């Protein structure tokens, strides 16, 4: 028996953000808008949302203190303000970091304790939190449709997810126009994150018909549009396809799982301060090579999805296609480019113990296998 869960409502389209107030009208009179420090404010999106909600007599409390790789303290600070202000629902606006922070605040608002209880002490989520609306401004994380929020524990350090179907957003508003101002390096990194989600979900041991369909379509869309979105940031058609790809890949991995690239991306990202999408780009081709023999037919389909002529015959062509993408996006780097040394490998392999992703990799990975992958990505 398989279980497939996604948000009950996904609003999609250019300018969709302008319909936000219409959809949240019944959620209550005080919105908590969680976002990053700069870009949405600078682009005037934060003010537009406040004005739009005010038109429906909804007051907005803005929490704009989310940094990249949000830590538990940021979530707890947001929770404290949210509880003081007596908010009714939460809106997340931004990339994966802002949305995951917002998701965690909404998800545990009614639990009457700190987020640390859930992340550090594995306390289970027992009740539905506040209504949560996710508005992504990047095409990568897919978190607007997933059931987990990735948070950083500074003390260890480690990244760990809180995960429950109650965390699935009540509403996702996917407006590709919000991604138009995304700088090139983020377009590339987020795009490779989405591709890693799709490929890992497609080759996961928990993949099934629905996740396969979504993941393979996401891979095709990325093949058709990522290089164009990177080279022509204002190309709305390419931005639309990437928004869809990220969304579909999010549904696929939230229900089908991920693999060794995501398991290793977390300790690498946290120990060496490498953005999530960039480190996935570095790891993806190595993990694909490692997994090649376990999913030969699927890798041929990935290669076909990523190429115009659809004529690939060998699994290894999938690795070549992803390598080509990485070169076009200036992401063709190895671990040594980030100052990582081979002596760091055992600690990095050990750091995967906080990630559930390793359990769904198509080939079982212990310490030796993880070190082999790191060597391949070096």
**Nearer to Fe ion (CB atom), residue 193 or residue 240:** 193
CB of 200 to Fe ion, least distance (A): 9
Binding-site size for Fe ion (CB under 5 A) equals 1
- Under rule CB under 5 A, residue 193 binds Fe ion: yes
Stretch of 60-68, 77-85, 163-171, 189-197 contacting Fe ion, by CB under 5 A:
189-197
**Nearer to Fe ion (CB atom), residue 193 or residue 212:** 193
**Nearer to Fe ion (CB atom), residue 108 or residue 192:** 192
CB of 123 to Fe ion, least distance (A): 25
Stretch of 18-26, 68-76, 185-193, 299-307 contacting Fe ion, by CB under 5 A:
185-193
Token digits of residue 50: 């406040």
- Hunting for tokens 């908010």 — which residue is that? 87
- Under rule CB under 5 A, residue 177 binds Fe ion: no
Stretch of 83-91, 165-173, 187-195, 341-349 contacting Fe ion, by CB under 5 A:
187-195
CB of 261 to Fe ion, least distance (A): 9
Contact between 270 and 308 (Cβ < 8 Å) = no
Stretch of 191-199, 206-214, 227-235, 295-303 contacting Fe ion, by CB under 5 A:
191-199
Stretch of 171-179, 193-201, 306-314, 344-352 contacting Fe ion, by CB under 5 A:
193-201
Residues 6+ apart with CB under 8 A from 345: 370, 371, 374, 375
CB of 96 to Fe ion, least distance (A): 7
**Nearer to Fe ion (CB atom), residue 69 or residue 193:** 193
Stretch of 36-44, 53-61, 190-198, 310-318 contacting Fe ion, by CB under 5 A:
190-198
Q: Nearest residue by C-beta to Fe ion?
A: 193
Q: What is the three-state SS of the chain?
A: CCCCCCCCCEEECCCHHHHHHHHHCCCCCEEEEEEECCHHHHCCHHHHHHHHHHCCCCEEEEEEEECCCCEHHHHHHHHHHHHHHCCCEEEEEECHHHHHHHHHHHHHHHHCCCHHHHHCCCCCCCCCCCEEEEEECCCCCCHHHCCEEEEEECCCCEEEEEECHHHCCCEEEECHHHHCCCCHHHHHHHHHHHHHHHHHHHHCCCCCHHHHHHHHHHHHHHHHHHHHHHHCCCCHHHHHHHHHHHHHHHHHHHHHCCCHHHHHHHHHHHHHCCCHHHHHHHHHHHHHHHHHHHHHHHHHHHHHHHCCCCCCCCCHHHHHHHHHHHHHCCCCCCHHHHCCCHHHHHHHHHHHHHCCHHHHCCCCCCHHHHHHHHHHCC
Stretch of 63-71, 84-92, 192-200, 267-275 contacting Fe ion, by CB under 5 A:
192-200
**Residue 87 vs residues 33, 105, 133: alpha-carbon distances, Å:** 10, 11, 14
CB of 109 to Fe ion, least distance (A): 25
CB of 47 to Fe ion, least distance (A): 30
x/- letters, 336..365, toward Fe ion (CB under 5 A)? ------------------------------
Alpha-carbon distance of 359 to 355, in angstroms, equals 8
- Under rule CB under 5 A, residue 69 binds Fe ion: no
x/- letters, 257..296, toward Fe ion (CB under 5 A)? ----------------------------------------
CB of 149 to Fe ion, least distance (A): 12
CB of 317 to Fe ion, least distance (A): 24
CB of 193 to Fe ion, least distance (A): 4
**Nearer to Fe ion (CB atom), residue 131 or residue 326:** 326
Alpha-carbon distance of 250 to 103, in angstroms, equals 15
Alpha-carbon distance of 377 to 180, in angstroms, equals 31
CB of 262 to Fe ion, least distance (A): 6
- For Fe ion, the binding residues (CB under 5 A) are 193
């Amino acid at each position: 028996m398989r279980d497939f869960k996604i948000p009950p409502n996904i609003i999609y389209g250019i300018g969709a953000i302008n319909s936000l107030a219409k959809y949240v009208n019944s959620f209550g009179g005080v919105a908590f808008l969680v976002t990053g420090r700069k870009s949405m404010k600078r682009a005037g999106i934060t003010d537009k949302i406040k004005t739009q909600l005010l038109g429906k007599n909804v007051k907005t409390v803005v929490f704009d203190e989310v940094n990249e790789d949000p830590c538990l303290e940021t979530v707890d600070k947001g929770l404290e303000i949210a509880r003081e202000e007596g908010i009714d629902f939460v809106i997340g606006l931004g990339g994966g970091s802002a949305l995951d922070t917002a998701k965690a605040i909404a998800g545990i608002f009614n639990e009457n304790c700190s987020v640390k209880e859930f992340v550090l002490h594995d306390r289970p989520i027992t009740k539905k939190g506040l209504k949560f609306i996710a508005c992504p401004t990047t095409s990568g994380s897919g978190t607007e449709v997933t059931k987990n929020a990735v948070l950083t524990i500074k003390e260890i350090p480690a990244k760990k997810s809180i995960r429950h179907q109650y965390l699935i957003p009540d509403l996702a508003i996917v407006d590709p126009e919000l991604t138009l101002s995304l700088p090139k390096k983020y377009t590339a990194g987020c795009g490779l994150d989405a591709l890693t989600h799709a490929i890992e979900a497609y080759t996961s041991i928990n993949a099934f018909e629905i996740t396969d369909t979504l993941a393979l379509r996401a891979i095709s869309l990325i093949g058709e549009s990522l290089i164009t979105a990177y080279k022509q940031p204002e190309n709305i058609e390419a931005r639309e396809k990437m928004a869809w790809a990220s969304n579909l890949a999010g549904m696929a991995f939230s229900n089908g799982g991920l693999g060794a690239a995501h398991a290793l991306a977390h300790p690498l990202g946290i120990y060496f301060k490498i953005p999530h999408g960039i480190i996935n780009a570095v790891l993806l081709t190595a993990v694909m090579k490692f997994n090649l023999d376990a999913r030969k037919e699927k890798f041929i389909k990935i290669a076909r999805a990523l190429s115009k002529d659809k004529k690939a015959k060998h699994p290894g062509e999938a690795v070549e296609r992803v390598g080509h993408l990485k070169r076009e996006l200036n992401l063709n780097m190895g671990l040594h480019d980030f100052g990582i040394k081979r002596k760091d490998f055992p600690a990095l392999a050990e750091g995967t113990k906080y990630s559930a992703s390793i359990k769904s990799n198509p080939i079982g990975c212990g310490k030796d296998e993880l070190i082999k992958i790191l060597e391949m990505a070096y």
